[in-house]
Amino acid sequence: MTENEPTPHAESVSAHGSAESRSGFVTFVGRPNVGKSTLTNALVGEKVAITSDKPQTTRRAIRGILSRPGGQLVIVDTPGLHKPRTLLGQRLNDLVEQVLGDVDVIGFCVPAIEKVGPGDRRIAESLNGYGRAKKVAIVTKTDAATREQITERLIEVDQLREDWAAVIPLSAFTRDQLDVLSDELLALMPEGPALYPEGVVTDESTEDRIAEIIREAALDGVRDELPHSIAVVVQDVAPREDSELTDIYADIVVERDSQKGIIIGHKGSRLRDVGARARAQIEPLLGTKVFLKLHVRIAKEWQRDPKQLGRLGF
């Protein structure tokens, strides 16, 4: 955590919130693709974390903020725990460990459509190392499951630990049971005033949100190892003089020449597609039309290079 970020015991930056108000930090854990970022976005009511079917999409601790009459939840969306193969992977795991040690509640997620497996059991058991956090089990993606699957999953998950404060089935997609989850999480938080002002949905900077939107567009349709090799650096965001346009210049960083070719595509077709999809999400975020200029550059083996990782913000 940086100096400016609130901790679970930080004083309020907002005057609202009575003595009965509750506020605190929650994070969701689970295998890759159990829907952690989708759940974060659904609770916040706005897209603050990018989503992809590629494992390890999330690379930072992104805070989404849900303000309710009874208090405030700060949802910390983290990378998934995984077996690291690079220095980047190790740093992401270290980040998750730090967040798990700081939060008030940990939500353990399992998709309703998949049987509980060894990976789920290992993660559930690892929660023993975070004694101060209360634990909630969440069965996700119920909209895609049969009633029998949901029942079976609830039984399996319930048996993983004896200290669940609650076991809740839900769908982030249809929003079914989301209020039940947020009510339960809020009830488990310590008493205290709000940590962020009303109306704030994330503490991510605009540049960071733009970079993540571009990376999400670049991830779509790529295969194998390439997703891990993609990073995005926003070089400049500036309103154009005498125009309602905002000019954005950003670099898509990859590790090898072959990857650069894949991102650019035949005669630049894929890069144009990435730019168009990213622009469609950036314009509502900024509230202006956008001119987006993307440049693809190579930083050899950046995932394994401490200096390159530092330059890219890891």
% the chain with pLDDT above 70: 87
- For residue range 279-298, list pLDDT tens digits in order: 999 999 999 999 999 999 99
In the predicted structure, residue 123 carries a pLDDT above the cut 50: yes
pTM (two decimals): 0.73
Q: Which helix (H) or strand (E) holds 298?
A: strand 289-298
Distance in angstroms (rounded) separating the CA atoms of residues 151 and 190: 31
- For residue range 89-101, list pLDDT tens digits in order: 788 778 888 888 8
pLDDT at position 14, please? 36
User: 251 near 267, Cβ under 8 Å?
Assistant: no
Q: From residue 4, how far is each of 10, 25, 61, 143, 201 by CA, in Å?
A: 10, 16, 14, 39, 17
User: 198 near 218, Cβ under 8 Å?
Assistant: no
Q: Which of 11-20, 42-51, 176-185, 220-229 has the highest mean pLDDT?
A: 176-185
